[in-house]
A and B are shown apart, each in its own frame.
Chain A
């Protein structure tokens, strides 16, 4: 597609349920990021995929969070046993990892609300 696509755009869930968020990056982009943005806060780095390298998971806040990526395509972020503090916008971004023209292209995000 033309841009980074995220689904669903909104997700309301009950505390304790598992949720899965999806990201379709721009075709050909080797790098993919997940960030979390709580209301009124900055972008909190969660995880970074780069090609076939092992992902950088250093930002995942707990073992309830996990993410996968199939090759250089779709990624899913899974949150198990959701808690109210997980409520946030989850942003996905991809980049071409081009030394001369590097920049991140962001999706519109998934607004997660945990009741």
Chain B
């Protein structure tokens, strides 16, 4: 069975600064990898996903993530954070057989002016 670890419970960055949210997974093969965002009072929205091919994937709102097989990681990055990016970010892993998707505990992003 797959599992996901997001080591940082919360992160605070200044507006305009760069951001990296960490995600490590455990799975026997190359999994499907996702990042979802949950903004206050809103539902979960897909930011980006990786299935195969180019290990650097681009998503919405200027986010990108890089799949590193050797590190079992799928870290989320953004070069310049906006105040509206303050939200909860969830990394998720889907198995390539049945597509069962498991989420990490989430990282809450705070953005300071």
Contacts and interface: CB of A to CB of B under 8 A. Distances in A.
A65 interface: no
A91 B94 CA distance: 17
Contacts of A91: 44
A50 B101 CA distance: 12
Interface string A43-64: 1010010100100101000000
B99 A97 contact: yes
A34 interface: no
Interface of B: 1, 6, 32, 34, 36, 43-44, 46, 49, 51, 90, 92, 94, 98-106
Q: How large is the interface on A (under 10, 10 to 19, 20 to 34, 35 or more residues)?
A: 20 to 34
B104 A103 contact: no
Interface stretch (A17-25, A66-74, A80-88, A105-113): A105-113
Given A41-B105, A42-B106, A100-B51, A48 B100 contact: yes
Contacts of A109: 43
Given A50-B99, A58-B1, A109-B43, 5 more contacts: A42-B6, A42-B103, A48-B98, A104-B36, A104-B46
